[in-house]
Chains A and B, each alone.
Chain A
């Protein structure tokens, strides 16, 4: 079956513009996660969705960042008024039920460059 897909694969934008990144999780996976990887660093947790529960937004770095998920399918991560420090690879992952001992399956990421 299909894995996690993300679009676009690359995005170049100008400082101050808004961007929207999309994630399609594996079908049937109720948990969805967004992470960010800056150059030379590890993955940084941003937000987590589990079913109909309120999302865990504790990793969002500022109020310019927001994310939505439609049911148990597609999620979009929106960054408003982008800054150069937002340049990173944004990775989406999904897992079956969202428990701590589950494997998270990652998409290929969206490479965002803010000029």
Chain B
């Protein structure tokens, strides 16, 4: 039962443009959502998070949007840079500490 899904395994964008990564979830008990970035041979690094009481959180070039009615969240990166090329994981928790992760989306930003 995949409670967190990232339906796009890969995304390619041009440098300077916006990257939009999407994530859907099924568990209505999830109340905290996070995005992690992962480079090859490294562990995931925290990028940005959002609580279920908000619908938007912004940090520099990164913005996360949460649509609770649609059980959907997205990560916007603008402007995209080649160094943003990595695998992006969406994760969620339901009042506890264990995170449920999506399968990841490989973002490639072309110079």
List A residues at the B interface (Cβ < 8 Å): 4, 31, 33, 35, 40-45, 48, 50, 56, 58-59, 91, 93, 95, 98-109
Contact = CB atoms under 8 A, between A and B. Distances in A.
Contacts of B4: 42
A48 B4 CA distance: 20
Interface of B: 4, 6, 31-32, 34, 36, 41-46, 49, 51, 89, 91, 93-104
A100 B101 contact: no
Given A42-B89, A100-B32, A95 B103 contact: no
Contacts of B103: 40-42
Contacts, number: 68
A17 B101 CA distance: 29
Contact of A108 (B6, B42, B51, B94): B42
Given A31-B97, A33-B97, A102-B97, A107 B49 contact: no
A56 B51 contact: no
A43 B97 contact: no
Contacts of A44: 101
Given A42-B104, A45-B100, A48-B98, A100 B31 contact: yes
Contacts of A41: 103
A33 B100 CA distance: 12
Contacts of B41: 108
B44 A59 contact: no
A11 to B, nearest CB: 15
Give the most central of A93, A98, A100, A108: most B CB within 10 Å: A100
B89 A108 contact: no
Contacts of A98: 97
B46 A100 contact: no
Nearest to B43: A106
Nearest to B95: A100
A108 B97 contact: no
A103 B43 contact: no
Contacts of B44: 43, 91, 106
